[in-house]
């Protein structure tokens, strides 16, 4: 029956969208059910036990009826004709079988579901992390996260509970109606005429209540967002003295939450009264009519008891169907969303660590040959237009240009995050597709602008560059990256936890860790996305020195924001709106009157001196 969740504190339980159950969706579910295959023996056994326990469950009203009739000295039926003791003991034996069978069916269903779900979870996660970048630029992380958690939990519920419950209730309903008809066809018909109407009404009403309860949850979620936003930006709230504004906003929202919840409570009250009056009224009506049949000798008291119990079984089964069906629909929706990920085309990257060795060495020559590129998600904007340049092994190439001119996009293309629509990127003179993806990415390292560390220790974060590196290797790399000093100053040294995303470290420290990580990786080609956030001059010197060490002996592509740092570059590429407008050394470009580089350079010099 529609269980009304009106408690407005239940915000975490977001309703998942439902899907239509049709042939197509069942086919999809079928694909997921193939995950049960390895455990099918246990699954079939669990189904069988479920069947047995449900059938056995139907026997109890008969035992009760037989006991009551036996107490009055009447014979209930030819199958249960013994005395009280015989019937009681038989009932207990059956109960024992029921308990035994129930235990195994529950355990087996959960075992199968847990194992199958872990397989689906693992495959979904593996698929996710090997999907191309383009997939991620079109989706939000939160949404993907919810597929792994909420959607898969829904599928898990479907396998462990919903499916079993549906089968059980179906058996109880069909069996119950059959047995009701055997006991008294008159009573059964009168009951069946009433029950479906009552249940349909209850379901519709329940759905309405659920809608209100969802509104209350959404409103509460809104007010939680206010708390989150204000706490995250507490400095802003205080600096603008907007405490009163935020308090009013929050209070207003809370009032709405209460209003909706109270409105819902009224409907819930009506619903509860309805259930009490109609459903229990029906039972009383049946007993009333049944009692008159008993008084006319058309029925025994045992039969009436049996009848009432079967009627409750049937009503409960009928009432549970809408919710079970809704859960099934949600599971179908969840399966479709999970399958969408599983059916995506992954990058040719192996998830086995053994396949991660470099098969084809790249010495560091890098060329772009007439590269044209637009992001697949935004085909109308050409981001790179006929880009060509060469960098020989060991050279430093700087890319400069205004914001949005396509510098980071070039880095993304080198890393093969995206592929040009025309033109080629060559490594050592060979087109990128002559190498495996793993070979290229293993020999290209990037030190990004915004260094994102994982929540582990400093050691683990540096080791991310080469998982097999020893502690000594890590320390050596940290020393070269000018990071050893500050790491050793922490009481826990290399075992210091960096906090979520590395928040416990300063920008300059995070960058030096990223440099140590890149050093450990020992790439042939290095991409430096220069930090725009200004470090103080001491950390900037430390970072710059570390970068010099890192660049030694490798091809470096420097995405430069501060032109003062790239004077020594072998080649400077000036990019403007995706087109290379100038190329040359610092001196050559400075000599170019009216050139963009000279203009940008002068602009930065002026702002530095002022
Ligand atoms: N994932 C993406 N999907 C669609 N468009 C994108 C994506 N990433 C960047 N762009 C667009 O491509 C263009 C070039 O962006 P890019 O990040 O390469 O510029 P940039 O020169 O590195 O800029 P900045 O100096 O500000 O970092 C911009 O117009 C940007 O809006």
DSSP lists the bridge partners of residue 558 as 398, 528
Pocket test for ligand 1, best of 381, 398, 408 (most atoms within 8 A of CB): 408
Q: Model confidence over 388-397: pLDDT tens digits?
A: 999 999 999 9
Q: pLDDT confidence of 279, banded at 50, 70, 90?
A: confident
* Least confident range of 377-381, 434-438, 529-533, 588-592: 529-533
Q: Whose CA is nearest to atom 25 of ligand 1?
A: 403
Q: Average pLDDT of 137-150?
A: 77
Q: Average pLDDT of 101-110?
A: 91
Domain boundaries in the chain?
17-183+320-349, 185-298, 362-443+524-610, 451-522
Look at residue 8 in the predicted model and tell me its pLDDT: 37
Q: Model confidence over 401-447: pLDDT tens digits?
A: 888 999 999 999 999 999 999 999 999 999 999 999 999 999 999 98
Atom of ligand 1 nearest to the CA of 134: 1
Helices and strands: H and E segment counts in the chain? 22, 10
Query: What gap in Å lies between CA 488 and CA 495, rounded to an integer?
Result: 10
Q: Whose CA is nearest to atom 16 of ligand 1?
A: 406
Mean of the per-residue pLDDT values for the chain?
84
Look at residue 533 in the predicted model and tell me its pLDDT: 55
Q: What percent of the chain has pLDDT over 90?
A: 30
Q: pLDDT confidence of 236, banded at 50, 70, 90?
A: confident
Pocket test for ligand 1, best of 371, 375, 448, 604 (most atoms within 8 A of CB): 375
Contact 391, 554 (CB under 8 A): no
* Least confident range of 3-12, 176-185, 207-216, 227-236: 3-12
Atom of ligand 1 nearest to the CA of 137: 1
**Which of 268-282, 311-325, 441-455, 466-480 holds the top average pLDDT?**
466-480
Look at residue 111 in the predicted model and tell me its pLDDT: 92
Q: Whose CA is nearest to atom 29 of ligand 1?
A: 404
Q: How far is the CA of 375 from the centre of ligand 1 (A)?
A: 9
Sign of CA dihedral 115, 117, 121, 124: positive
Contact 384, 411 (CB under 8 A): no
Look at residue 80 in the predicted model and tell me its pLDDT: 64
Q: What is the DSSP string of 268-336?
A: HHHHHHHIIIIIHHHHHHHHHHHHHHHHTTSS-HHHHHHHHHHHHHHHHHHHHHHHHHHHHHHHHHHHH
Look at residue 11 in the predicted model and tell me its pLDDT: 36
Q: Model confidence over 33-90: pLDDT tens digits?
A: 889 999 999 999 999 999 999 888 888 888 888 888 888 877 656 666 667 888 888 8
> What was the ipTM of the complex prediction?
0.96
Q: How far is the CA of 404 from the centre of ligand 1 (A)?
A: 5
CATH code of the domain occupying 362-443+524-610: 3.40.50.300
Domain pair 362-443+524-610 / 451-522, same fold: yes
Q: Whose CA is nearest to atom 3 of ligand 1?
A: 375
Query: What gap in Å lies between CA 321 and CA 1, rounded to an integer?
Result: 7
Q: Per the structure block, which two tokens stand in for 325?
A: 């069906």
Q: Whose CA is nearest to atom 26 of ligand 1?
A: 403
Q: What percent of the chain has pLDDT over 70?
A: 93
- How far apart, in Å, are the Cα atoms of 12 and each of 7, 150, 154, 155, 224? 12, 11, 14, 18, 11
Q: How far is the CA of 409 from the centre of ligand 1 (A)?
A: 6
Q: Per the structure block, which two tokens stand in for 538?
A: 């001491």
More confident site: 77 or 117:
117
Q: Average pLDDT of 278-291?
A: 83
Query: What gap in Å lies between CA 237 and CA 243, rounded to an integer?
Result: 6
Look at residue 274 in the predicted model and tell me its pLDDT: 80
Q: Whose CA is nearest to atom 17 of ligand 1?
A: 408
Given a cut of 80, whether residue 20 has pLDDT beyond it is no
Q: Whose CA is nearest to atom 24 of ligand 1?
A: 403
Can you give the C-alpha Rg of the chain in angstroms?
A: 35
Query: What gap in Å lies between CA 604 and CA 435, rounded to an integer?
Result: 40
Query: What gap in Å lies between CA 387 and CA 372, rounded to an integer?
Result: 7
Look at residue 373 in the predicted model and tell me its pLDDT: 96
Contact 106, 323 (CB under 8 A): no
Look at residue 2 in the predicted model and tell me its pLDDT: 37
Look at residue 571 in the predicted model and tell me its pLDDT: 92
Look at residue 453 in the predicted model and tell me its pLDDT: 83
Q: Average pLDDT of 289-304?
A: 87
Q: How far is the CA of 383 from the centre of ligand 1 (A)?
A: 8
Mode of pairing for the β-strands spanning 366-374 and 422-427: antiparallel
Q: pLDDT confidence of 459, banded at 50, 70, 90?
A: very high
Q: How far is the CA of 403 from the centre of ligand 1 (A)?
A: 8
Q: Per the structure block, which two tokens stand in for 505?
A: 């470290």
Q: Model confidence over 477-513: pLDDT tens digits?
A: 898 888 898 899 989 899 988 876 666 788 888 888 9
- How far apart, in Å, are the Cα atoms of 338 and each of 39, 127, 335, 428, 584? 21, 11, 5, 40, 50
Q: How far is the CA of 131 from the centre of ligand 1 (A)?
A: 20
Q: pLDDT confidence of 331, banded at 50, 70, 90?
A: confident
Look at residue 13 in the predicted model and tell me its pLDDT: 43
CATH 3.30.930.10 fits 451-522, yes or no: no
Q: Residue 184's Cα: distance from chain center in Å? A: 53
More confident site: 392 or 192:
392
**Which of 18-32, 413-427, 488-502, 545-559 holds the top average pLDDT?**
413-427
The dihedral region occupied by 69, where left means phi > 0, alpha psi between -120 and 50, and beta the remainder, is alpha
CATH code of the domain occupying 17-183+320-349: 1.20.1560.10
Look at residue 503 in the predicted model and tell me its pLDDT: 65
Look at residue 182 in the predicted model and tell me its pLDDT: 86
Q: How many CB atoms lie within 10 A of CB 343?
A: 10
CB-based pocket (< 6 A), ligand 1? 137, 375, 377-378, 383, 401, 403-409
Q: Which residues contact 87 (CB under 8 A, 6 or more apart)?
A: 63, 66, 67, 70, 80
Query: What gap in Å lies between CA 335 and CA 28, rounded to an integer?
Result: 7
Q: Model confidence over 241-272: pLDDT tens digits?
A: 999 999 999 999 999 989 988 988 888 888 88
As a dihedral over the C-alpha atoms of residue 270, residue 271, residue 277, residue 283, rounded to 10 degrees, the angle is: 180
Q: Average pLDDT of 298-324?
A: 84
Q: Whose CA is nearest to atom 18 of ligand 1?
A: 406
Look at residue 436 in the predicted model and tell me its pLDDT: 92
Given a cut of 60, whether residue 6 has pLDDT beyond it is no
More confident site: 346 or 193:
346
DSSP lists the bridge partners of residue 571 as 397
Contact 500, 417 (CB under 8 A): no
Q: pLDDT confidence of 608, banded at 50, 70, 90?
A: low
Q: What is the DSSP letter of 42?
A: H
Q: Whose CA is nearest to atom 30 of ligand 1?
A: 404
Backbone φ and ψ for 427, nearest 5 degrees, come out as -115, 125
Q: Residue 476's Cα: distance from chain center in Å? A: 38
Q: How far is the CA of 578 from the centre of ligand 1 (A)?
A: 10
Query: What gap in Å lies between CA 36 and CA 382, rounded to an integer?
Result: 47
- How far apart, in Å, are the Cα atoms of 86 and each of 71, 75, 90, 216? 12, 13, 6, 56
């Amino acid at each position: 029956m529609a269980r009304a969740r009106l408690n407005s504190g239940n915000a975490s339980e977001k309703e998942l969208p439902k899907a239509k159950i049709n042939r197509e969706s069942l086919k999809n579910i079928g694909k997921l059910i193939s995950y049960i295959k390895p455990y099918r023996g246990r699954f079939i056994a669990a189904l069988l036990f479920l069947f047995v326990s449900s059938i056995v469950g139907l026997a109890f009203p008969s035992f009760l009826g037989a006991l009551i009739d036996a107490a009055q000295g009447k014979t209930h039926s030819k199958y249960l004709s013994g005395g009280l003791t015989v019937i009681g003991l038989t009932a207990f034996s059956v109960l024992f079988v029921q308990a035994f069978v129930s235990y195994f069916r529950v355990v087996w269903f959960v075992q199968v579901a847990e194992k199958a779900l872990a397989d689906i979870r693992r495959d979904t996660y593996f698929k996710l992390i090997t999907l191309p970048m383009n997939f991620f630029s079109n989706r939000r992380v939160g949404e993907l996260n919810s597929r792994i958690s909420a959607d898969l939990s829904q599928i898990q519920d479907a396998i462990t509970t919903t499916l079993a419950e549906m089968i059980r209730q179906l058996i109880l309903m069909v069996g119950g109606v059959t047995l009701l008809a055997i006991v008294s066809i008159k009573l059964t018909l009168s009951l069946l005429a009433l029950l479906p109407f009552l249940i349909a009404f209850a379901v519709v009403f329940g759905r309405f209540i659920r809608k209100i309860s969802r509104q209350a949850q959404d409103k509460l979620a809104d007010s939680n967002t206010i708390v989150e936003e204000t706490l995250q930006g507490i400095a802003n709230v205080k600096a603008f003295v907007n405490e009163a504004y935020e308090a009013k906003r929050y209070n207003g929202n809370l009032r709405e939450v209460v209003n909706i919840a109270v409105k819902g409570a009224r409907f819930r009250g009506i619903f509860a009264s309805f259930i009490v009056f109609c459903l229990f009224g029906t039972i009383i009506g049946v007993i009333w009519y049944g009692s008159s049949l008993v008084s006319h000798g058309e029925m025994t008291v045992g039969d009436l008891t049996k009848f009432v119990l079967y009627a409750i079984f049937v009503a409960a089964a009928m009432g549970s169907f809408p919710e079970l069906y809704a859960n099934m629909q949600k599971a179908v929706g969840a399966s479709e969303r999970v399958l969408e990920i599983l059916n995506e085309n992954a990058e040719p990257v192996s998830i086995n660590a053994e396949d991660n060795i470099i098969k084809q060495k790249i010495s560091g020559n890098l060329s772009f040959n007439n590269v044209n590129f637009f992001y697949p998600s935004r085909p109308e904007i050409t981001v790179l237009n006929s880009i060509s340049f060469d960098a020989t092994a060991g050279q430093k190439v700087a890319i400069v240009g205004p914001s949005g001119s396509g510098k980071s996009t070039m880095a993304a293309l080198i890393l093969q995050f995206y592929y040009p629509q025309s033109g080629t990127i060559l490594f050592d003179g060979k087109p990128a597709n002559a190498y495996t993806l793993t070979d290229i990415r293993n020999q290209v390292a990037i030190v990004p602008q915004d260094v994102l560390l994982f929540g582990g220790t400093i050691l683990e974060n540096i080791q991310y560059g080469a998982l097999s590196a020893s502690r000594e290797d890590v320390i050596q790399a940290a020393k070269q990256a000018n990071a050893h000093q500050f790491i050793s100053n922490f009481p826990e040294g290399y075992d210091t936890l960096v906090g979520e995303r590395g928040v416990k470290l300063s920008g300059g420290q995070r960058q030096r860790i990223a440099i140590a990580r890149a050093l450990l990786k020992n790439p042939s080609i290095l991409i430096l996305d220069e930090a725009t956030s200004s470090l103080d001059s001491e950390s900037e010197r430390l970072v710059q020195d570390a970068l010099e060490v890192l660049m030694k002996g490798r091809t470096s592509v420097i995405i430069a924001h501060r032109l003062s740092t790239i004077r020594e570059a072998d080649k400077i590429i000036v990019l403007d709106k995706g087109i290379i407008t100038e190329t040359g050394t610092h001196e050559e470009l400075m000599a170019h009157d009216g050139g963009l580089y000279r203009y940008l350079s002068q602009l930065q010099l002026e702002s530095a001196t002022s």
